Amino acid sequence: MAEKSPFIVSPDWLETHLHDPGLSVVDASWYLPAQNRDARAEYDAAHIPGAIFFDQDAVVDPDSALPHTLPSPTEFERHASAMGIGRTDTIVVYDGPGMFTAPRVWWMFRVMGADKVFVLDGGFDNWKTDGRPVTDRPTKIAGTAFVPHFDPGQLVSLDAMQAIVADGSAQIADARGAGRFTGEEPEPRAGMRSGHMPGARNLPFGALSENGYFKDLDGLRAALAEAGIDPGKPVVTSCGSGVTAAVINLALASVGAANHRLYDGSWSEWGGRPDTPVVTGPADA
């Protein structure tokens, strides 16, 4: 049987363990306007029993003008504690279609020091299709204290990103779709230039899963190789606003890559500035 990522759990596993003590199930669904889906409304109508809604537009740095900026450890602690999630819990994160926005919250909890964090394979859409249990009942939350152990080494700042582009000290993996990467398609956010950072490689996040199920380890390695990314060397991931970049981080962690970070400002920051270099067309050979 093909070997799967150690950071995902199967629907069978989660259904069996739903009532385990110390388990926190997190609905991290979020959608682009073009998808015409309301994550909070969908959660209220149906969610996995016991799941807590994680609002990716709310658990952010309130002082940042950029979307989805990672909050400070203190701010994250406030939100996670109010959700009743402890740092030592077994945390299982899911989203609607699977392997879209859940890996971002997986990454956030890991950056804040949780080490038992997993993503539900297949997402909630497949969970429902399979006839697994759902509920519309509000989840009862018992407040707790999430005490973060913040790891700033998993983040890349604008200054650091500019240095990496200039000196080539790390590979750059861009999770946006090919059209946005080459500049043939406009960015969904107004005011953004089109294209990519010099030296970046394109690995659309959707290439790492099939129908919401994460590819096995051989499939992940093949997708990385096809994009020209060597997991044995330093990698920085990027996307539109730092959300789907984490799908690549999940893939890299899954295949044992030791040195991978996420550029949190991503294209919202880089493409929204007049002073950062941007190129169009396919990645350099």
Residues annotated as catalytic are 239
Least Cα distance to 237 among 152, 156, 181 occurs for 156
Looking up tokens 């990645």 gives 283
**d(C-alpha 146, C-alpha 112), whole Å:** 9
Structure tokens at 37: 């889906």
**Burial of 134 per CB tally in 10 Å (0-12, 13-18, 19+):** middle
**d(C-alpha 16, C-alpha 70), whole Å:** 32
Least Cα distance to 52 among 110, 177, 138, 181 occurs for 138
**d(C-alpha 76, C-alpha 68), whole Å:** 12
* Residues in Cβ contact with 39 at an 8 Å cutoff, skipping those fewer than 6 apart: 27, 29, 30, 31, 53, 96
Quick count: other Cβ atoms within 10 Å of Cβ 66?
16
Cross-strand partners of 135: 47
**DSSP letters spanning 89-138:** SEEEEE-SSSSSSHHHHHHHHHHTT---EEEETTHHHHHHHTT---B-SP
